[in-house]
Structures are given as structure tokens and as C-alpha cells.
Amino acid sequence: MYKTEISVVEVSEKNLKKVLPEFVLPEGRIISSIDGTANVTWDVEIEGRSWGLKGIYPIVSKVSLTLEVTTSDTDYNEEKVESFDIEIDSTDYDTEGAKLSLCPNTLVYDKNKGWIVEF
């Protein structure tokens, strides 16, 4: 098992309610930023045949995420940061961007697929 920290977590403002149903934006405030850090627990599966290696695949078993939502008043004078801890047991993964190395790079929330760990 491997554990990798990801500092790039992509959650759009329109998907925030799906990710954090408990988050309520106070009246008169706007979202200035959504940042997060995730710890991905993962492993590697090697699929072989008599003729050789068929593939090498990452298996994501768990993601622990801390999401920080920064809100401000409409004049950007006062900022408030709220932090949320999220445990994700089921994620999809994308190895399309993996070239010479295989490690988690980005955690993205997609409204259709849910959480996706990009390798």
C-alpha cells in the first residue's frame, strides 16, 4: 500500500453542495476560494499473461480530504475560512495523464462520476 498527499483538489462552486451538503453560504457572502488537501491510499495491480504483462493498474482504496471554503463579504473586506474533513471510500481513477510514473496528482469532483483521482 502507498499513501500519497495531493495538494491539488478541484471542486467547482456549483458542485460544492453535492460534496458538502451541510455547507450553507450565509446571506450577503460569496465564495472566494475552495482549496483542499487529500491523502490517497492506493496500491498497484499487475496483470500478466503467458505472453507478458498486459497492464499495470492503480487501485485506490481510500481518500481522506480536508476541504477549506473561504467566503467573504461582497466587498472582499472580511474573509472567513471553514474547514471540512471528508472520508471517501469509493472513487474512480484516471491514468490517461500518467506517462513515465504512476502516482496520484489531482483529486477532481465530477457531477456525473463523483470523485476522480487523476494519476
Mean pLDDT of 54-62: 84
pLDDT score of 8 = 79
Average pLDDT of the chain? 84
At 31-56, the pLDDT tens digits run 989 999 999 998 888 889 999 888 88
Tell me how many degrees the CA angle 102-44-93 measures, rounded to the nearest 5.
Answer: 65
Cβ within 8 Å of residue 39, ≥6 positions away = 3, 4, 5, 6, 63, 64, 65
User: In 61-90, which positions are buried (b, 16+ CB within 10 angstroms) versus exposed (e)?
Assistant: eebebebebebbeeeeeeeeeeeeeeebee
pLDDT score of 99 = 55
pLDDT score of 93 = 65
Question: Residue 79 sits in which domain range?
Answer: 2-118
C-alpha 87/C-alpha 84 separation (Å) is: 10
Structural domains in the chain (count): 1
What percent of the chain shows pLDDT beyond 70? 89
Mean pLDDT of 93-118: 75
The pTM (predicted TM-score) of the whole model is 0.74
